[in-house]
Structure formats: structure tokens, C-alpha cells
Structure 1
Amino acid sequence: MDHRPRLRQLLLLILGAALPFLLFPSREQTAALGTALAASICLAVLVYGWDLDGDLARRVAQYGPNQYTHQGMLAAVILLVGYGSRSFNALAEADLEHERAKSERLLRSVFPEEIGRRLQAGEQEIAERHGDASVLFCRVIGLDRPAEGQTAEAYLARLHAVFAAIDRRCAELGAEKIKTTGTSFVAAAGLPMYRPDHAEVLVALALALRDEFAAMPGIAVRIGVNSGPVVAGVIGQVRPTYDLWGDTVNTAQRMEMHGLAGEVHISPLTFAKVNHRFECSAREGVEIKGKGAMKTYFVRGVRKAGRGP
């Protein structure tokens, strides 16, 4: 008996069931179509047999007395295949949820939480003016270059330890770390969500960093803080970043540049917002680039109870 017609029928059946895999390669469709393919193969085997030498009428006549058994077996096979497909879908959904969570964590590590949510929701252009916020510039002194004889791995490990401590302090005190450049970083408070104590948050952060790094041999921080209106937004498409612009930002950088190692240097605008909580000492006639002579302040520490400004 020529088996080729039956073989061609079986191959065409399998090819027809497999074709959608090539046309629709998504996970959910692949799982659903996989069930159909597996059930088709099982049905073909039960009807035609592995030897492919019989026809449907002969097999029904041969297995007629046991037809319920065979139908039950077929139903069991299809149910098992369906269960397997459902399990595959569950695993695929769990994997998709894991990737989504990982993407959300990455967004939160690169952008402020509110900005990350908006980007994930599909918002593409984010540019906002914040009328009252504070900006902090900090330079870590003593890490500009590897020490003599220090390996690149050891140098980077020390940098990592320093900036991990900065990240931890920002998270503890509710400040937003905006960016890191070399051995400097920028933080802000009062944006993207407003909070009235933004200046106090950054000064508390500055004091915490000053005290923490004072205990590290060979490392000190020079910090400047300023308050006022800020423009913030996301720029770039390939590697988008969240950044700040405006005179408030420039003045905060000048506070850092004209400060001293181990000191927290603040502008008059920030001083007016934090003087009730922190003890400060004035610096008269400091020549600030682009501003001329200014009266600025060094923050000494938290004001003790009972001691007013």
C-alpha cells in the first residue's frame, strides 16, 4: 500500500498548524497555537496510527468496541496539552511582570519617581518651571585621581563606596539626586513634587554628608546650596536625562565653587529659609562670579533647642 498520500496529509496538517507560529511570533499567540498544534498531532496519531497504513473507516470499525476509551484518551491528551499551555502562559506572564518590574526599578534609579511614572505612561516631553525649590552642588575632594600605586579597580571601588553613601543619604532625607559628574553630584528638593521644607532637606543632607566623609581619611566635601525658581525637564532620546536649569542652579554651583573643604556654603535666599533651624555664620563681601560681592553663610549645625536666630 502506498503510504505517501497519508504521509502528505499528516505533513500538511502539521505545517498548517505551525504556519501561524511564523506569522504571529508573540508569546501569548505562540502558546495558544502550540495547544492547537499539539492537539492536531495527537488527533492525527490516534486516527491514522504511527504506521499510517489505515483509513478512518477501518480504524473506527477496528476500535469501535473501545471507542469511549479512545475518546477519553483523546480528551485527556487535549486537556493535558491545554493545561501545559496554560502553565506556559502563566510563566510567560510572570516573566513579563518581572521584566516590567526591572524596567520600573531602572527608571526609578535614573529619574525621580514621579518623572519615571510619567515616562512609563508614555509622556515624551517633560518640561516644568518650579517657582520655589532648592539645589545642592557637592564636590568630593580627594578622589580626583587614583593615589600613587592604586589600581583602577581599587580606585573605582572607593568611588563606588562614596557615591553609594551619597545615594543612601539622599534616600533617607528625601532629596532627589539629579546627576553625577566625575567626583561631583547635584541634588535637589522641592521638585518634581513641591515640599515647603526643601531648603531644610538639602541643608540637613549637606551636614550629614559633611560629617560622614569627615570620618574617611583623605576625603572631604565642599557643598553649596541655593534656593529659588528652577526649570526642570527631560532631554535626549537615546539616553534621556532629567536636568535643571536657571540662575538658581548657577548660583548653587557658585556657592560650591567659592566654598571651603568640609563646609556647607549657602546663599542668602537659602539662609532665610533655614536660619530658624540651623546655626550659620556670615561671610561678608564674598566675590561670586557673575553676582559680585555677596553676603553668604556657612552652616555650623542644627540649632539647639531654646536658641533662636
Structure 2
Amino acid sequence: MEDVTLEKAIETPQSDYEKPAILYIDDEEDNLIVFKSAFRRHYSVLTAKSGEEGLEILKGQDVSVVITDQRMPQMTGVQFLKNLPDENDMIRMILTGYSDMESIIEAINTGKVYRYITKPWDKNELKITMDNAIEAFHLRRTNKHLIEELKEANEVLEQKVIERTLEVSQQRDEIEKLILNILPEEVAQELKEKGEATPRFYECATVLFTDFIGFTNIAEGLSPQALIEELNKYFMVFDSIVEKHNLEKIKTIGDAYMCAGGIPVENNSHAVDAILAAIEIQTYMQEVNQKREATGQPKWELRIGIHSGPLVAGVIGSKKFAYDIWGDTVNIASRMESCGEGGKINISNFTFDLVKDWFSCLYRGKVAAKNKGEVDMYFVESEVERVA
């Protein structure tokens, strides 16, 4: 096979679309002609007679390499290169004699010049230098695109992080709301900070129980779905009333509803608060039953029992946290409910002593309570009118 000389390799033509664009600037027409003739087979050669003309060409051309003579009237080669935009990717080279080396070195040090070429230039050496410059241009352009893509990817990632952070924050808020629906705020905060909530003893709190009379008979006449919807409707109103009167809902057990006052934050009004809530609940149920009777439906008669005394409240276990209360006070409150009557509020003697200045109550005498013997009980009749 015949050896391919460097001269032949230089003269090998390329298709137009593969030719990189090179701008050559020189104020001498002959130099422009020689340069274009030497390299037009390999590059798309653009020429200009001055720096000003070169700047105009660059406005409409994507040029890979620009080569300029140093000594030109009005604008030197270094001045021309300094006028080029910094963001332009093109490779900048300059033709110079030894007498201009000081200004050329300064331009190189400031990053304005990629290479300098001494006069007279050698065609083969200049071709190699320009090919290296074009390769550097492509690397520079590729790096620029990669940086832009990386920047765009970072912006997208940052936006996703912002969106995910917002989503996590919203989820956290929703979780906290759900927790607060299950646990008192003070208990939830302690659980979040310590990972556990210590049960707490209360010297005096008030427990309220409600229960529907004849619930089994009512349930037999309703579908399971209708029964749950009906109970849910009533209990949601109870929730609102209980919250209004500063009581803490504990739980529902079937058709029974349980709440307490004076927990988790102690106060001196818990017994009064509980009876005010009980009166409002019974008033609501009376309104419900009037409407049900008008349409021929059976009544939902409600018993309410209240007792005050010491108890323990808190969260136990490590799964499915639930705020609950324990102690004999809870048991007696349950007996107050079961020993009561429909539409009435039955309270113990202990609770009566706490609220007798606030409510008119009817003494029932000693009433037998399961496992408690005979217990003094009272029906709450009305609030006592107080002089302002």
C-alpha cells in the first residue's frame, strides 16, 4: 500500500457539512488569498480585512476558530480578541512577529489567546495547530452543553426536592393532625419528643359515659351501614360538644361514648364542664327524637352518667397508641350511666358536691350499683340562676 504523506493528508477534501468554520483576519489582501487557498479544502474559510469586519461576520456565523493578524490599522489583533464576548466558545489564535511578543504574552495570560503563530507560518504546522484548536473547540462546546444539561438537571432535581419536601411537610402535618385526633396535644408532643408518654395520676377528674337505651332493638331494624351512619352522625355532634366544653374524648365502645374533664391538663372546672356538655348532648338528642317521632321512627333515648374522682391517664403499649383512663372513678362513672334513665343525667354524690352551687339536682337516694353496693345518686335538673 502506498504511504500517505502529511502533504497528501492535508490536501484530502472534506464534505461541506463536515468542515468547521475558520475566520481569518488580515489587513493585507494577499495574505487572505494565500490562507484561503491553502485551507479551503479542509475548512470553511471566512476572511475579513479588519477587526470591525470580523466582528460583523461573527454576528451571523458559528465559527470554531478565529485567527487574526496582530498588526492592523485601527484595531490590533489583541484588541479584536478582547472585544469578543467571553461566553463565545471559539478558539482564538493570533499571527505575530517577535517584536509584538510582549502584548501577545499578556493576551495569553488573560485567557484571550489560545495560541500564537509566528510569521511566516508553515502550512503543515499551521494545519496541525488548527486541527488541535478545532478539537479543543469541540471539547469546549461539549463541556458547555454538558454543564448546561447538568444545570438543567440540577434545577429539575432542586424543584423535585422542593416539591418532595413540601409533600413530606404536608404528609407530616396530616400525620400530626391524625395523631391529634387520637391523642391529646400534650401527650402527642411528649410522645414525639421522648418516644413514649408516661401515664399520669390525677387527684380529681370527671368521667362522663353515655349509652343508648334499647340499642339492640334499634339495631335489629337497621342495616349495618345505616346503623353505623346513624351512630356516627350522633357521635360527631358529641365530639363537637365535648371539645366546646374543654373535655377530652376517650373512646367509643359500641354505642357507648366516653369522655373526661380535667385531663390531660388539670383544671378546677372539670365537673361543671362535664355537666354542661351532658345537658347540651341531651338537648340535642331531644331534638333528634322529636323529628324521629314526627316521622314514625323509634327514639334514640340516651342515658348519661357522671362521676368525679382520682384516676390515671396516659398511653401504654408500643403500637396503635390510644389515650385511655384507668381507676375506680371510671368504673363508678359507668355505674352512674347504667343506673340512670333515658333523657336524664345521673351523677354521683362526689360530683354533686363539686357542682351543687351551679346546678339544681334531684336527690334519688341510695341506689344499688353493680359491685358497688348502694350509692347516693342525683339527677341534674337545671342550671342554677346566678346573680351577676
Match of 1:215 in 2: 287
Using the alignment, how far apart are the partners of 1:92 and 1:139 within structure 2?
46
Alignment of 1:240 onto 2:312? no
1:100 pairs with 2:179: no
Within 5 Å, which residues of 2 pair with 1:209-288?
A: 209-217=281-289, 218-288=299-369
Work out whether residues 144 and 183 of structure 1, in 8 Å CA contact, stay in contact via their aligned partners in 2.
Answer: no
2:225 pairs with one of 138, 153, 159 = 153
Distance 1:88 1:237 in 2: 34
Measured after TM superposition, the shift of residue 152 of structure 1 is 2.2
1:219 Cα offset (Å): 1.0
The answer to whether the Cα contact below 8 Å between 2:202 and 2:311 also exists between their aligned partners in 1 is yes
Structure 1 residue aligned with 2:183: 111
Q: Deviations over 1:93-124 (max 9, x none)?
A: 11111121121111111112211222222432
Match of 1:138 in 2: 210
Contact persistence 1:264–1:299 (CA under 8 A): yes
Q: CA deviation at 1:174?
A: 1.4
Residue 241 of structure 1, CA deviation: 2.0
Q: Of residues 243, 248, 257 in structure 2, which corresponds to 1:185?
A: 257
Provide TM-score, normalisation by structure 1: 0.74
Query: Partner residue of 1:292?
Result: 373
Percent of pairs identical after alignment? 30
The 1-side partners of 2:132 and 2:273 are apart by 82
Aligned-pair distance for 1:288? Answer: 2.5
Q: Which runs of 5+ in 2 are unaligned?
A: 1-129, 290-298
Give ranges in structure 1 of 5+ residues lacking alignment. Answer: 1-57
> How many pairs are equivalent?
251
Letter in 2 for 1:157: E
Q: SS at the partner of 1:248?
A: helix
Q: Does the 8 Å contact 2:190/2:197 carry over to 1? A: no
Q: Is the 8 A contact 1:178 1:188 kept in 2?
A: yes
Q: Please tell me the residue identity of whatever aligns with 2:179.
A: L
Q: Which residue identity lines up with residue 224 of structure 1 in the other structure? A: G
Alpha-carbon separation, structure 2, partners of 1:59 and 1:75: 24
1:88 aligns to 2:160 (yes or no): yes
Looking at structure 1, the residues matched to 386 and 378 of structure 2 have their Cα atoms a distance apart, in angstroms, of: 21
Q: Judge conservation of contact 2:205–2:270 (CA < 8 Å) in 1.
A: yes
TM-score (ref. length: structure 2): 0.60
Question: Distance between the aligned counterparts of 2:220 and 2:178, measured in 1?
Answer: 36
Does residue 1:305 correspond to 2:365, yes or no?
Answer: no
Tell whether the 8 Å contact from 1:268 to 1:296 is kept in structure 2 after alignment: yes
Any conservation in 1 of the 2:187–2:197 contact (CA below 8 Å)? no
8 A contact 2:348–2:378 mirrored in 1: yes
- Of structures 1 and 2, the one scoring higher in RCO (CA 8 A, sep 6+) is 1
After superposition, give the CA deviation of every residue in 1:26-45 in whole Å (9 maximum; x if it has no partner).
Answer: xxxxxxxxxxxxxxxxxxxx
CA deviation map 1:194-242 (0-9, x unaligned)? 0110111111111111110112231121111111111112123332322
Within 1, Cα distance between the matches of 2:255 and 2:137?
84
Instruction: Please give the alpha-carbon distance, in whole angstroms, between the structure 1 residues aligned to 2:158 and 2:255.
Output: 52
Contact 1:146–1:152 (Cα < 8 Å) also in 2: no
Partner letter of residue 97 of structure 1?
Answer: S
Q: Does 1:162 pair with 2:234?
A: yes
Deviation at residue 59 of structure 1 after TM alignment: 9.3
CA distance in 2, matches of 1:254, 1:100: 41
Looking at structure 2, the residues matched to 193 and 59 of structure 1 have their Cα atoms a distance apart, in angstroms, of 83
